[in-house]
Amino acid sequence: MAAAPDTATAPRQAETAAPADLRAMLMQEEGVRGADIARHLDALDPEEKLRQVLAVKGKWVKALYDAAAGNPPATLDEFVPPSSKGTTLIYEGRNSLAMFTRFQKRFLRTESGVIVGYNHQTMMWFTGPGYFVFQAADGKPPVPDEPYIDYITEPHEIPEGWPAYKPNDSGMSKAVYWNMHDYMRRVADGVYVGKAYRLAEDIGPAEDIGAYFSLTLQPPGHAKQ
């Protein structure tokens, strides 16, 4: 006679099963380590990796930023490799806002080695392209050890074919990009998460505006916006 199933152990096995995707990992009550997230995402093909990161919305983007705190620091060379000089790299973005959550950040390493970029999104006609310079970690507050997207420094070069330059200190661009730095953390290969700060006009501390976003390198052949 066959032995009866050990039903007492079945629920325990279900409870310890690994979450199926990134969002489920972040929703675990006990939390999740950044190293486990990196291992999970790096095992996926590029399209599935992008799908899972974009599925993380709202408050869970902050949860992703917090989980990535112990990961190795991001570097400019990893984000925009020197070998890509002159080529636009597209990162698909998801922010933590309630509306207009999808966008792209497009980066290019110029011949001088400076990395410039802009925000490509449906409201660009209204907010402007939000041009920036991507800067290495500078040891200064509010986040001394993370590279940052610098909306204050004006790019010295606008790549051919990109939108016309518009300053970030006038019109609706000022409401969105003025005096901003976005600090970036590494999540996995080709995946980063950022947090926005508005710098003070005087010597006061930078303002944490509670805005977070993820960036995932666009897979080859992926449909462009």
The answer to whether position 110 is within a domain reads: yes
**What's the CA gap between 55 and 153, in Å, rounded?**
32
Query: pLDDT per residue over 73-120, tens digit each?
Result: 999 999 999 999 999 999 999 999 877 789 999 999 999 999 999 999
Structural domain span for residue 89: 73-217
The answer to whether position 130 is within a domain reads: yes
Nearest to 176 by CA among 214, 121, 135: 121
Query: pLDDT per residue over 169-205, tens digit each?
Result: 998 899 899 999 999 999 999 999 999 999 987 767 8
| Joined tokens for residue 144 | 């001394």
The answer to whether position 126 is within a domain reads: yes
The answer to whether position 16 is within a domain reads: no
DSSP bridge partners of 105: 91, 119
Average pLDDT over every residue of 157-169: 94
The answer to whether position 68 is within a domain reads: no
Q: Is the pLDDT of residue 1 over 70?
A: no
The answer to whether position 89 is within a domain reads: yes
Which DSSP letter does residue 168 get? T
CATH code where residue 98 lies: 2.40.160
Q: Is the pLDDT of residue 2 over 50?
A: no
Number of structural domains in the chain: 1
The answer to whether position 93 is within a domain reads: yes
The answer to whether position 122 is within a domain reads: yes
**What's the CA gap between 47 and 105, in Å, rounded?**
18
